[in-house]
Structure 1
Amino acid sequence: MSEPTLSASSPAERGPSHAELAVATTTTPHAGATPPRAKKVPTERTHHGDTFVDNYEWLREKDNAEVVAHLEAENAYAAAATEHQQPLRDAIFAEIKNRTEETDLSVPARKRGWWYFTRTEEGKQYFVQCRVAAADTGDARADWTPPVIESGTPIDGEQVLLDGNAEAEGQPFFSLGGMAVSEDGNLLAYAVDNAGDERFALRVKDLRTGELLADTVEGVFYGLAFSPDGERVYYTVVDDTWRPHQIKVHVLGTEAIDDVVLFEEGDAGMWTGFDLSPDRTELLISVGNSEYSESHTLDISDPDARPRLLLSRDERVLHSMDPVSIDGRRHYVVTSNRTPHVEKAPNNMVSLVADAEFARPFAEQEWATVFAHRDDVKIEGTAVTATHLLVGLRRDTTERVQILPLVGLGTEAQSEPVEPAFDEALYTASLAGADFESPLVRVEYTSFLTPPRIYDYELATGELTLRKETPVNGYNADDYVAERDWATAADGTRIPVTIMRHASVAADGSSPALVYGYGSYEMSMDPTFGIPRLSVLDRGVVFVIAHVRGGGELGRSWYDDGKKLAKKNSFTDFIAVTEHIVKAGWAAPDRVAAMGGSAGGLLMGAVANLAPQLYRAIVAQVPFVDALTSILDPDLPLSALEWEEWGNPIEDATVYKYMKSYTPYQNIAPVPYPKIAAVTSLNDTRVLYVEPAKWVQKLREVTTGTEPIVMKIEMDGGHGGASGRYEGWKDRAWDYAYVLDALGATEKV
């Protein structure tokens, strides 16, 4: 799905063993035999005259050996309670593995004088980053046509830039946070995370010798860029709350302690990041939240330059920018929810603005309209090449791409945009790469039934050339069906529903079903292909996606109607979808399961409280189930940034009361809950492990039912679970086996 990851010393070095400590915190002498029960340590907090007593807040003490022992006891119990599912997990893992072309490679993408691509090899967990020299014959089309490289077969001149398998050797976790190659192609900067906490170490490699430079910078965040001369590397730093707040520059050959802070954001509710301009001459620094933003530019050709403000947050414009030169003058293509002369454009509009305009007061600036606002089209963003503007937009819930020349942009001479056409009704078409100098742009296409395809679109002719479709062994699209349905919420709102099924499954009211949802941050659950999902469909389960409010499928209003004081719409929409598929005959009333992760895990916790009788089982992945506690503490990771999504319960008593009325942990009731599995990771910085740890404790304490409630915690992982593709497949197999077992759908149809 669309979804946006410690090594420990030996027990002898820690005093009592974890197993011994586990005995002390459980009600039985055999860890794993019964659910572990954490001791109660009442902790009070009071806001707006309301006092809440939290008996399990002490589990937040991550470095406490007793907490670690308790978490390991949870893993032991989860393993014991689900041991009978191991053969099914093995079968699903094997199916994923057998369907996947393990030795494969990406379509090469040209940047400057090289073709860059990635390889995967059978039996190896991680990607290998490679390149081969490009030719310049003077024939632009030929020079930009990617070379044909066969899987598993190196070609002459192939150079390995970075082997993730070698980097991960001996490490509990491995993830890349970014890569950048210097303009001359000689240096590689990359960022590595070996803990899963998304704090990376920056390293620099000389690609001529293969040697690492002495330069190392710890604690960097996502995103890297070289200066044009290759002497400086720009990067982002997070503060103690995991909020990116600084842009710094490292001069190669110097100590990291001497790195200069080029930009610092002091507002705890604002996120900072940067993008390298397509022509690689400036950094576009963006500061913002979900409701408004601010843009600065930095000339990286000048080592003494400092950021220059373009559009201030004081204007309360939610926007993004792409710099482009037209007729020798610098302009910016601005995607925004208002302009100096259009007060409201919630679905965004696109404008062309000359650089000099930003020096004038906002109300006096001249912005030329490129794409006007439309109620039925959401502009998602733009990109530019030297000759064309590329626009990502959403219409009828579907993400697509439109392309038009820069010549005449924003004037009466502007050309009509061209949209590459595809056959399926439900699909996702998005930009997969657009090098500034290229006469081709790359488009990725996928659907619920079509594995990812890579196309090159020729800007001069509009010709669309298929470069690759991801191979899926033994897959026949005719065996499956994906269709759009609509449910109706209690307030009359029509909710998009995606229904995927094996072609042999009929709407006769007997089938098991899995309902998936997210519904936050304006993130859309777009059509994508998933090999693991086939194992669910093959067992006769109807896979349903509830496109609830809070997502972005139907434009900005769809998001606004599922956030802050309208957040409960996400939960009731999900329930309405569940009831709809039963009424429509797609699901047997006693054979429905639910799944969601992160903010979708909050959704799972909420529907478990509101309608536990509707579900046989619920899987909550890295679930945000104690949202109020987290957001009340601005010192916790990301909490202050969340105020624009959920509201600020610290300052606003109405927000506090509303959040308390739905936060899953604080609304557990004495009812028979279904089977519940909470899946989390110790080093997750986005949703702390303590939230599901507390949630499962209170669920077991309060439920009047007898169904098992388990928590599986990855002790060396982060928000995405364990690292490595095989470990990821095992995680998916665990989740799906849990659901299939609960639904009595373990055999293939």
Structure 2
Amino acid sequence: MTVRIPSTRTSDDIETLAQVQFADPYQWLEVDTEEVRQWQDQQAEVAAAYVRDWPHFDHLRASVARLFTSRIASVPRAAGGLWFRSHTAEGSSQAQVIVADEPFGSGRVLFDPRDENPDEPPFLSWISPSPDARTLAVGVCDDGSERNTIRLIDVASGTLLPSPPSQALMDNWTGGAHWLPDSSGFFFTGVDGTSTEWTQSVWLHRRQTPSTTVVDAPWQSRDSYRTVVVSRDGRHLIAVERLVDPVPIAVAPLGDGPGAVEWIPFINEVNGTVVGHLIGDEWIAVTDIGAPRGRVVSVRLDSPTPNDPSSWKELVPESDAVIRTVTPVGDALYLSEFVDTYARVRIVDATGAPQGYVPLPGRGALAELPFLLMTVLPEAVGDDFLFGFSTLTQSAGVYRHVPGTASLETLREPSITLVDAVIEDGWATSQDGTRIPFHIVRRRDLLLNRPRPALIHAYGGFNAPWVPHFSGPLAAFVEAGGVLVHGHLRGGGELGREWWEGGRLENKQNCYADLYAIAHDLISTGVTSPGLLAVTGSSNGGLLAGVAATQRPHLWAAVIPRVPLLDIIGACHDGYGRMAVGMDFGDPDDPDEVRRMAQFSPYHLVEDGVDYPAVFIDAGDTDPRCPVWHSRKFAARLQAATRGQAPILLRIWRNVGHGWATDREIAITENAEWLAFTMKTLGMTPRAERP
């Protein structure tokens, strides 16, 4: 198929950051004008036509639909003797809320987004039942952006209650509503009114009044994720700040009335993670301070020196395993760990004495949210340990472990298994000698006796572990005869604090070097070749793909950046982007740092006259994290610069954001398109269609 890319005008604009100037010929594509929308739609038409010209597209989409799973396994929530869970009914594109007497009992539908808009049902972002199970709070997003508003539902009748908070939540990353023990109200993290700024406040909503007021905790930074949670026994409030390395900055006794909260500073002067739960008068937490792979400590609320790590009581020392989180379950502590990237759950008592391990159903990953602030939510606390678990070849099941027992109860079986697929572990050597783990997933009958089509999928950033979980739509690539490579790069959290630090800030280039090391290992061992190798990733992984295309253009046949950050310099001019850049890439106020960051900013790395690989940029126009203009500008620059014949395509989806709140049917088509581009470029034919 001949690809006719729409022409794109250029300008003489200059981008300036920390007094460092950069030519910015496509700056006009940052603004949402009618001209830009028309250009964007023309680009989308070309991209869609190109992938649908592949004769196997419909078959691939059916495969993606069959293998599609939710991003994070839905684990039921208990409250007041009832169980609440999200559930996507057959034929529906969005999840409902079911209330039942058992975790996966038949129950009844309590909330159905189709009642709000039958034609385009909104997305259910989160659910939070009150402790007395009389009220359910849910977050509802109607434009794919993750920005959601609260509904309050009477559990007995299923009717909507009046006067919910008017403030919107930017996302579901702080867990939605955190109820007071008497169910009279809840805390939530949101933004005021119709503001488009990402800066968030914590609010307390009282049901009886009703009223919503800002919680004035001693927050340390304006540009930081934050939340207020209630302690396990309901006696204290804890203010927790920082997304990827959270600390409990203050505590307050929880009084009986709605009076002002009296905050007492707690752990607020440390450089490191201290993430956990308040049990009685002790903060039981995993910390990487003095232990890069993590240890479990106890910090008393009445400690005169809470910021002195030497005064903390060590319960579980550092070991070869990476301790990620601690969850109190009854009188026991359940430690989520990584051993060579795979999950392990260790059990200790309140003193740290060993009590055994949870018998996990395979080598894989717990269904945990990626950032550590998400793990402090008290809803994870209960008398049993409920968790989701998946592997690289099997979708998530939901399981229950009762402390003191040797068996595991299956509450919901995995729905998808890649039959006759194998997982092989590998280690590549990066340019500085660091060993980089990766996993290969392939069909058992696909022998690696000659180079095969291969797709590397990786992330490498923000202390987020890229766990070996079921890949959902990417499983269609495996079924079709491809080799899926799950890479673990520095910058992530799989191997502890040093692994994160080794791939961030001044060490960020190590992340990309690790990717190239995996690629060269696959090529040198004959698994694949440059003409059969593709790379993809989302968000920070989309940046990774963009860097790969521009730093090593001849290493790949296809590159697919998804919901990507691609202009690091321009990102520093909005609040959220500046926060993300400062957290993991560099200081946007330091000229030398700005010049260093430009060395891995894909938009600025594009050079005229280079034979770039085939590129398919996939993004959503309501993305609040990596705004769509990143994709527009990079696509235009790359289309103008390449001297080769490989297509450079841009596919931007309307009412789609960063992927956390995308309609199921749209997500299936979206994944089918970029996978079709990949498989078309690599010359693949789905298995069932082979002669």
TM-score (norm 1): 0.83
Distance apart, 1:503 and its partner CA: 0.8
Residue 460 of structure 1 aligns to a residue in which SS?
Answer: coil
- 1:318-365 per-residue CA deviation (whole Å, 9 max, x = no partner) reads 21231113xxxx222022233xxxxx22222211222211x5464498
Aligned positions of 1:54-65 closer than 5 A:
54-62=24-32, 64-65=33-34
Give the conservation status (yes or no) of the 8 Å contact 2:20–2:594: no
Which letter maps to 2:89? E
Which letter maps to 1:416? P
CA distance in 2, matches of 1:528, 1:603: 20
Tell me the residue number matched to 1:318: 273
Distance apart, 1:180 and its partner CA: 1.9
Aligned counterpart for 1:654 among listed residues 592, 610, 628: 592
Give the conservation status (yes or no) of the 8 Å contact 1:696–1:709: yes
Residue 213 of structure 1 aligns to a residue in which SS?
Answer: coil
Which letter maps to 2:125? G
Higher relative contact order (CA 8 A, sep 6+): 2
Tell me the residue number matched to 1:732: 671
Gaps of 5+ in 1: 1-31, 134-145, 339-343
State yes or no: 1:267 paired with 2:221.
yes
Distance apart, 1:686 and its partner CA: 0.4
Distance apart, 1:517 and its partner CA: 1.6
CA distance in 2, matches of 1:123, 1:66: 37
State yes or no: 1:130 paired with 2:98.
yes
Residue 418 of structure 1 aligns to a residue in which SS?
Answer: strand
Give the conservation status (yes or no) of the 8 Å contact 1:89–1:730: no
- 1:148-169 per-residue CA deviation (whole Å, 9 max, x = no partner) reads 74xxxx4xxx332211333443
Cα gap change, 1:360/1:160 in structure 2, threshold over 3 Å: closer, same or farther? Answer: same
Give the conservation status (yes or no) of the 8 Å contact 1:601–1:624: yes
State yes or no: 1:495 paired with 2:436.
yes
State yes or no: 1:627 paired with 2:568.
yes
CA distance in 1, matches of 2:306, 2:62: 62
Tell me the residue number matched to 1:9: none
Aligned counterpart for 1:250 among listed residues 193, 197, 205: 205
Cα gap change, 1:582/1:656 in structure 2, threshold over 3 Å: closer, same or farther? Answer: same
CA distance in 1, matches of 2:57, 2:262: 52
State yes or no: 1:716 paired with 2:655.
yes
RMSD: 2.8
State yes or no: 1:420 paired with 2:358.
yes
State yes or no: 1:191 paired with 2:139.
yes
Residue 219 of structure 1 aligns to a residue in which SS?
Answer: coil
Distance apart, 1:312 and its partner CA: 4.0
CA distance in 2, matches of 1:314, 1:607: 38
Aligned counterpart for 1:549 among listed residues 472, 476, 490: 490
Cα gap change, 1:743/1:259 in structure 2, threshold over 3 Å: closer, same or farther? Answer: same
Cα gap change, 1:441/1:48 in structure 2, threshold over 3 Å: closer, same or farther? Answer: closer
Tell me the residue number matched to 1:21: none
Tell me the residue number matched to 1:337: 288
Residue 736 of structure 1 aligns to a residue in which SS?
Answer: helix
Distance apart, 1:315 and its partner CA: 3.2
Aligned positions of 1:531-550 closer than 5 A:
531-550=472-491
- 1:663-694 per-residue CA deviation (whole Å, 9 max, x = no partner) reads 10001023101110100011100000000100
Cα gap change, 1:455/1:177 in structure 2, threshold over 3 Å: closer, same or farther? Answer: closer
Distance apart, 1:101 and its partner CA: 9.9
CA distance in 2, matches of 1:437, 1:322: 9
State yes or no: 1:346 paired with 2:289.
no
Cα gap change, 1:361/1:442 in structure 2, threshold over 3 Å: closer, same or farther? Answer: closer
State yes or no: 1:70 paired with 2:7.
no
Aligned counterpart for 1:370 among listed residues 311, 315, 326: 315
Residue 695 of structure 1 aligns to a residue in which SS?
Answer: helix
CA distance in 2, matches of 1:233, 1:518: 34
Aligned counterpart for 1:686 among listed residues 609, 617, 625: 625
Aligned positions of 1:135-154 closer than 5 A:
146=102, 149=105, 154=106
CA distance in 1, matches of 2:59, 2:230: 45
Distance apart, 1:300 and its partner CA: 4.6
Give the conservation status (yes or no) of the 8 Å contact 1:271–1:641: no
Residue 452 of structure 1 aligns to a residue in which SS?
Answer: strand
CA distance in 2, matches of 1:321, 1:438: 15
TM-score (norm 2): 0.90
CA distance in 1, matches of 2:381, 2:145: 37
Give the conservation status (yes or no) of the 8 Å contact 1:227–1:300: no
Q: Tell me whether 415-424 or 492-501 shows the greater mean CA deviation.
A: 415-424
Give the conservation status (yes or no) of the 8 Å contact 2:218–2:250: no
- 1:70-126 per-residue CA deviation (whole Å, 9 max, x = no partner) reads 2112112212333303x5332122224345799xx9775543311233433221112
Aligned counterpart for 2:513 among listed residues 572, 577, 580: 572
Give the conservation status (yes or no) of the 8 Å contact 2:246–2:275: no
CA distance in 2, matches of 1:241, 1:558: 34
Instruction: Point out the structure with max Rg over C-alpha.
Output: 1
Give the conservation status (yes or no) of the 8 Å contact 2:146–2:661: no
Residue 609 of structure 1 aligns to a residue in which SS?
Answer: helix
Tell me the residue number matched to 1:218: 167
Tell me the residue number matched to 1:457: 401
CA distance in 2, matches of 1:594, 1:705: 19
